[in-house]
Amino acid sequence: MKFGIDRLLAEPDLRKPLEGKRVALVAHPASVTADLTHSLDALIAAGVNVTSAFGPQHGLKGDKQDNMVETADETDPVYGIPVFSLYGEVRRPTGQMMSSADVFLFDLQDLGCRIYTFVTTLLYLLEEAARHGKTVWVLDRPNPAGRPVEGTKLQEGYESFVGAAAMPMRHGLTMGEMGHWFIRHFNLDVDYRVITMHHWLPEGPGLGWPTDRIWINPSPNAASLNMARAYAGTVMIEGATLSEGRGTTRPLEVLFGAPDVDAKAVLTEMERVAPEWLSGCALRECWFEPTFHKHAGELCNALMIHAEGGFYDHAAFRPWRLQALAFKAIRILYPEYPIWRGTDFKYEYTEGHLAIDVINGGPGLREWVDDRSSSPGDLDDAASADEAAWREDVADLLLY
> How far apart are the C-alpha atoms of 21 and 42, rounded to whole Å?
17
Q: Kindly report whether the global pTM for this prediction surpasses the value 0.75.
A: yes
String of DSSP letters for 110-161: --SBTTSTHHHHHHHHHHHHHHHT-EEEEE----TT-S--BSPPPPTT--BT
User: Which residue, among 12, 49, 59, 24, has the nearest Cα to 137 in the 3D structure?
Assistant: 24
Domain 4-218: CATH architecture, name and number where available: 3-Layer(aba) Sandwich (3.40)
For residue 228, give Cα distances in angstroms to 110, 224, 291, 356, 382: 9, 7, 22, 20, 24
* Nearby residues of 313 by Cβ (< 8 Å), 6 or more positions away: 279, 280, 281
User: Which residue, among 114, 98, 97, 105, has the nearest Cα to 27 in the 3D structure?
Assistant: 105
User: Which residue, among 220, 242, 217, 223, has the nearest Cα to 355 in the 3D structure?
Assistant: 242
Digit-by-digit pLDDT tens for the chain (400 residues) are: 999 999 999 999 999 999 999 999 999 999 999 999 999 999 999 999 999 999 999 889 765 555 556 788 999 999 999 999 999 999 999 999 999 999 999 999 999 999 999 999 999 999 999 999 999 999 999 999 999 999 999 999 999 999 999 999 999 999 999 999 999 999 999 999 999 999 999 998 999 999 999 999 999 999 999 999 999 999 999 999 999 999 999 999 999 999 999 999 999 999 999 999 999 999 999 999 999 999 999 999 999 999 999 999 999 999 999 999 999 999 999 999 999 999 999 898 888 899 999 999 999 999 999 999 999 999 999 999 999 999 999 999 999 9
Q: Is 47 exposed, middle or buried, given 0-12, 13-18 or 19+ CB atoms closer than 10 A? A: exposed
CA 207 to chain centre: 17
> How far apart are the C-alpha atoms of 113 and 117, rounded to whole Å?
9
Interval 362-390: pLDDT, tens? 999 999 999 999 999 999 999 999 999 99
How many H helices and E strands in the chain? 12, 10
- Strand pairing category for 23-26 and 50-55: parallel
Domain ranges of the chain: 4-218, 225-389
Structure letter (DSSP) for residue 231? H
Domain 225-389: CATH architecture, name and number where available: Alpha-Beta Complex (3.90)
